Chains A and B, each alone.
Chain A
């Protein structure tokens, strides 16, 4: 068994950029910039992470130490069949899911937190900083930092900080220092608070604070999504899934994932796209944060303060603030440049589902499979259910594979809130 696990875990990360249908517009500095954001990256990111971001090769070797760390957190994650869900839907389709909730932090985010922390440590960094929304990314960074004996500081979006005390507890248990953003610790945070003292926070604001905080203290910033390097690291998901399907003798037809910044979707789907396996790819976002239906494909800043280089992506604008009562996650204002390009080219389809829809899907999945999904992942589940029902209508034996990006055991306040508001 141990040998099999090591064989399924890939030896390389996969980068889709050389296989995209068109050139990926590069990150760039804004016109008349008073300073170079691209240059600033050198002070923000661990050097090796930056090198991987810009040294675009199809395959990049995973350092043996990082592979060991992956094995240690339980990679490869299981590829499971949702047999009872199929039965409940009475669909001829087969449904499989890659269960990224099986890692200790409960989501896929650890897949990039580990190598980034490893590279930071190897450079002599002793303190890393990041932002987090719901807390999955913050948790992953806090654990990864602990594993490499580094300090971590996490700027957590204020509404989540208040609604998600358990996430905070875990981060603190791992030794992370957690602040509710906007804070008074950074110039940008102060500015946001001066304009609106009850600002609920946003990922864009928290990201800016984390970057500024890293800069002023000469710490390093770890990036959780959006940038190519994060998706590169996540490619372990899709590569494992391909091998696991091979072992089962299955060929996937439809691949589905949810999209916040795009890292779990890209990590899961891009290896399939690159290998030309699968006929339909569906990226699922939230109806309440409607970047696919209402966003523009343009150069925009990943963070609200505009400290990072502009990237070309589908975006609602860097200053977008999501509706505060909405509890379904996927609140980031943009989608990764590579994913945005694939959507614009019609290679990846998108869907948006509302909170009541994903809540219903989450309930059904929990009843069928017993796993409480992360609200983010419930978006993917909703699309899976729709596709399975379509297969039923058309009498097609489709093989649907989706990425269950996280479990929802620490998102129970969200479900509680949804139950209160939606079950009337």
Chain B
């Protein structure tokens, strides 16, 4: 079983056509799962690069649904929506049922078990009741017994963000962090947050990660050299994963 490449794209970034070109490239380049970021009011755990992408998109994307539907229609691999629970609480049922209606596979709320820990089971049930997969986000600041518990109920894989925020290369020992929790995780383990350094990736995979989630590196590539450069990066990361 090959390692999973989970590619992240901010919905509509940088512009509609380029975005669609990028997600096509993600699929062709060998991504197994697509993670689509819906711009939140407060990107609590996102670094400056992804925040910048949200800001740019928010300036023109007023209705997310047509573009989400378009995304679904073009892409056959599983699509997971990434957005903060905080923003959707008042309209959660509508939001989830709309996602399900257009055929989105699952949802990942990075703030679910951090800011809503007392009710997380209720929300997980709600997500599943709507026919969506609940991908649970964990981090090194989540205690061991809880990582063990949520790993059993997380759908598709368990997400483990190894840094406090996306895209900022805070020095961490990725392998030690994974070794700590690998035996607790009764699921596929996908590691993300600030992984763009391929040595870091190899360390993560050697330490037992089943997959890698990449986001910021693509956005930076788009900022620097356009969509094609980001697509090349997808292929490059696929190659790294294929070493394992």
Contact = CB atoms under 8 A, between A and B. Distances in A.
A22 B173 CA distance: 23
Nearest to A50: B171
A44 to B, nearest CB: 12
Contacts of A31: 41-42
Interface stretch (B9-17, B110-118, B217-225, B231-239): B110-118
Interface residues of B, number: 31
| Chain B interface SS verdict (over half) | loop
A95 B173 CA distance: 41
B114 A41 contact: no
B44 A28 contact: yes
B114 A51 contact: no
Nearest to A29: B165
A39 interface: yes
A42 B143 CA distance: 25
Nearest to B40: A31
Interface stretch (A13-21, A174-182, A286-294, A397-405): A13-21
Contacts of B42: 31
Contacts of A27: 164
B113 A23 contact: yes
Given A31-B42, A55-B172, A55-B176, A22 B144 contact: no
Contacts of B144: 18-19, 58
Interface string A23-44: 1111111010101101101100
Contact of B165 (A17, A20, A36, A56): A36
A48 B171 CA distance: 8
B191 interface: no
B164 A54 contact: yes
A67 interface: no
Nearest to B117: A22
A25 B170 contact: no
A28 B48 contact: no
B146 interface: yes
A38 B173 contact: no
A54 B171 CA distance: 8
Interface size class of A (residues with CB under 8 A): 20 to 34
B180 A25 contact: no
Interface string B141-175: 11110100000000000000001110011111100
Contacts of B180: 18, 56-58
B177 to A, nearest CB: 6
Given A22-B146, A23-B141, A23-B143, A50 B48 contact: no
A219 B29 CA distance: 44
A22 B143 CA distance: 6
B78 interface: no
A351 interface: no
A38 B140 contact: no
B161 to A, nearest CB: 9
A42 B141 contact: no
A190 interface: no
Interface string B37-58: 0000110110110010000000
Given A23-B117, A55-B140, A36 B164 contact: no
Interface string B99-130: 00000000000000111010000000000000
26 contacts: A18-B143, A18-B180, A20-B143, A21-B143, A23-B143, A26-B45, A26-B114, A27-B164, A29-B48, A36-B47, A36-B165, A36-B168, A38-B164, A38-B165, A38-B170, A39-B47, A42-B169, A42-B171, A48-B171, A50-B170, A51-B173, A55-B140, A55-B173, A56-B140, A56-B180, A57-B176
Interface of B: 41-42, 44-45, 47-48, 51, 113-115, 117, 138-144, 146, 163-165, 168-173, 176-177, 180
Interface of A: 17-29, 31, 33, 35-36, 38-39, 41-42, 47-48, 50-51, 54-58, 309
Given A27-B164, A33-B51, A39-B48, 6 more contacts: A23-B146, A26-B139, A35-B48, A38-B47, A51-B173, A57-B180
